[in-house]
Structure 1
Amino acid sequence: MITIGYQSDTGAWVGERLSEPYRFGSGRLVPAASLPDLTFPVRERAGRVGPLVGVLVSESSIPALLVGKKRWLETVVRSVHDAGGIAIVTTAAGVKENTVSGFVLVPASGRWIKASTPLPDVVYNRVKSRAEESDKRFQTAAARFDAGGIALINRSFFRKSDVYDALRADGRLWPHLLPTAPVRTADDVRAWLNRYSCVYVKKDDGAKGNGLFRLTVLPDRSVLCEHPGGRKRLRSLEALAPLLESGGYIAQAAARTDTWNGQRYDLRVLAHWRRGRYTMTGVGVRLAARRALTTHVFHGGTILPYAEVEKRIDEASLAQLIALSGERLSERFGFVGEFSADIGVGPNYELYVYEMNAKPMSFDEPDIEKRRLERLNELFASFAQLAP
């Protein structure tokens, strides 16, 4: 470890009496006779210091970050500093041709300062909406990273239909996939119900259970429609026509599932690219409330310790499922350094993919979050050629 400093008046990152021209991100440290007040301990290896990590966020996230209302994001930044790197939190508008402007956390004081840095070694994308990722400023920033050979971890959100198409391209994953396709009309849904009798209909770009409902054919041929807010009986599927015709819905065949004490559960798997392959960082379990539609905690689900169901899970099969899925996702969406998977467990302990998520939320399990930060910092260091 060495100590470097930031000259806020000139925007220069400096080292005291440098014995060699250390590389810092896409730039180099400036030699100085002494260090300024703002100093940072950093890792050093083979003429490089850092890594310098860009954390790309939405414009609306910055004010909340500066007043301490983005605790998880701040935890990620602190972990980068603890691992000997420096993180600059920026927006797409802050990415210039050769520099990045944004905010850096000063470890000694815990305060955020405005700062500029060279283009970073690696960028962690936490922009929170699809609309912003489609915006010209984001696309320009992404192009600048590409031109500089800078990895943009998790370039975009996933759409459920795109995930299904990506995974379906690998025959080894077919046993884990539930039939899935776009639905645009009541007739489309009717055809699905004639074949499967119970289907989930989801917003293709939905998250957290929003835009989700389950349709089940009843003995009198009416259809029970369940959603997180309640349930009702439909005498005609035409009642769904206005919603479906608004666009962006998919149908997914329902799977028979294993239960724990009479309640459905599924797995939340966190995965990272590590040492040349996708590996599982942690497995959480979410338990649905009785008669509930989803296992999401904010829709009434609860957290179940993994140890309660661990003996039911073929971990070798789960690990292969995650490894192959990560490869297919990266082929489709660009490099995916981190993702999470919602995995269903069948009555004979078969594994089914429900969804894959490009920007996982924080996990409630502290041990999984701890390993997540370790894996992220390993990933950041590897792109800066600073991994041990």
Structure 2
Amino acid sequence: MVVINPWSKRMVPVIGILTARKKDGTIAGNGSLFIELQKKLISLNGISFIFTLDGVQDDSINGFIFNPEKNSWEQINSPFPDLVYNRIPFRKSEEALKRNPFFTHLKEKNIPFFNPGFIDKSELYHLLKNHPYLHSFLPATIPANDKHRLRSFFNQFHSIYLKPAQSARGKGIYILEQDTENTILLRGVKDNNQFISFDHFWIEWETILKENNYLAQEEIKSKTYDGKRFDFRILAHAENDHYMVTGIGIRQSQMQEITTHIPSGGKLLPYQLLQTEDQDLFIQTIVEQIGQALSEQFGFFGEFSIDLGISQTGKYYIYEVNSKPMSFDEIEIEERKIDHLCRLFLQLTGYQD
């Protein structure tokens, strides 16, 4: 290993980006994001490196730094950074982090930890359900682990979403709906299953629902554009003790109606198609309220994204809040994200007012 301290000759903020390793031992995570953050930080007189927990030592960290001049990654040994940005991509790896003494080291050294972790859908629902303003924008939701309660919920709404409490990007989501008087249909992104009764559905799915902590959520009949349902993807960042909208995109379903996610066949539309002043004001309001609620409950959140829907009657619904937003396909939103993140890093480390 090359033992270097590339920032020892000048006073610059050092950002440590925490990620994890894949099963094959290679570094996981969004490499293009890490590279763009490094380039932007350098332009702002800062620097970053990536690392995993197995690289943490008592007084230093073994990691990797991107060198834009060589367009390559270099292995380094670094002092502890001024801030740690949590980009661990796996929930299991993050559970290991909670049991690791690394957290204690950060607290002892007064090093900010940017974003506590993934958000459990059940915990998020309870947080927002008890919020004086946000509670009215939630679809009805219950745990899907009790047969009689789930049957009653299904009989009430006739069409419900089933969502794993700890999933992202639309994985594992289904719609359970009354197909005919005598049959029930379970629709997924890639497959459909039919059951002759709720009892038969429960026999086959009880274990799956319980092991994956599924939630049941009423299906909101979504407003459409050109005959296809859509929802909003909102990116937000902390800024001077407040939370501001960084960008808004629209995702529209195409081949299936389960989810609008691009990897599942969704289509990207420009926000300007459906933009109004009242809607902009509403979105900014919920961004501020959600950001404050998350940080008060779980610890400082510097960024998050929101999946927001609008019903056929014009009512807004908060579907998801994601603590580690996916990359946006809109180039201008991605550019603003990089800029906002880096300036927030500098602010939190005391290098920028």
CA 377–158 in structure 1, closer or farther in 2 if over 3 Å, else same: same
Alpha carbons 2:21, 2:52 under 8 Å: kept = yes
Q: Which has the higher strand share?
A: 1
In the alignment, structure 2 segments of 5+ residues that lack a partner are none
Superposition RMSD in Å: 2.3
Q: Which amino acid aligns with 1:59?
A: R
1:285 maps onto 2:250 in alignment: yes
Over 6 Å off, 4+ runs: none
Q: Which has the larger radius of gyration?
A: 1
1:336 maps onto 2:336 in alignment: no
Structure 2: how far apart are the matches of 1:312 and 1:183? 38
Counterpart residue number, 1:56: 18
Counterpart residue number, 2:287: 322
Matched residue SS, 2:33: helix
Counterpart residue number, 1:270: 235
Alpha carbons 2:189, 2:256 under 8 Å: kept = no
Counterpart residue number, 1:359: 324
Instruction: State the TM-score, normalized to the length of structure 1.
Output: 0.83
1:14 to 8, 11, 15: 8
Counterpart residue number, 1:381: 346
| Larger displacement relative to structure 2 (276-285 or 189-198) | 189-198
1:346 maps onto 2:346 in alignment: no
Matched residue SS, 2:8: strand
Q: Which amino acid aligns with 1:174?
A: H
1:77 maps onto 2:29 in alignment: no
Counterpart residue number, 2:183: 222
Q: Which amino acid aligns with 1:131?
A: K
Structure 2: how far apart are the matches of 1:69 and 1:247? 26
Structure 2: how far apart are the matches of 1:216 and 1:312? 36
Superposed, 1:1-388 pairs within 5 Å as 11=5, 13-15=7-9, 49-60=11-22, 63=26, 70-135=31-96, 139-237=100-198, 238-239=200-201, 240-289=205-254, 291-311=256-276, 314-388=279-353
| Larger displacement relative to structure 2 (358-367 or 332-341) | 332-341
Structure 1: how far apart are the matches of 2:151 and 2:275? 38
Structure 2: how far apart are the matches of 1:69 and 1:303? 21
CA 222–80 in structure 1, closer or farther in 2 if over 3 Å, else same: same
**How far did 1:11 drift?**
4.7
Alpha carbons 2:64, 2:73 under 8 Å: kept = yes
Q: Which amino acid aligns with 2:20?
A: S
Q: Which amino acid aligns with 1:50?
A: V
Instruction: State the TM-score, normalized to the length of structure 2.
Output: 0.91
Matched residue SS, 1:331: helix
**How far did 1:283 drift?**
0.4
Q: Which amino acid aligns with 1:52?
A: V
**How far did 1:251 drift?**
0.7
Alpha carbons 1:132, 1:138 under 8 Å: kept = no
Structure 1: how far apart are the matches of 2:231 and 2:278? 11
| Larger displacement relative to structure 2 (234-243 or 360-369) | 234-243
Alpha carbons 1:153, 1:337 under 8 Å: kept = yes
**How far did 1:302 drift?**
0.6
CA 155–290 in structure 1, closer or farther in 2 if over 3 Å, else same: same
CA shift digits 1:219-270 (9 cap, x unpaired): 4152221111122322122332232233411111111221101110000101
Matched residue SS, 1:310: coil
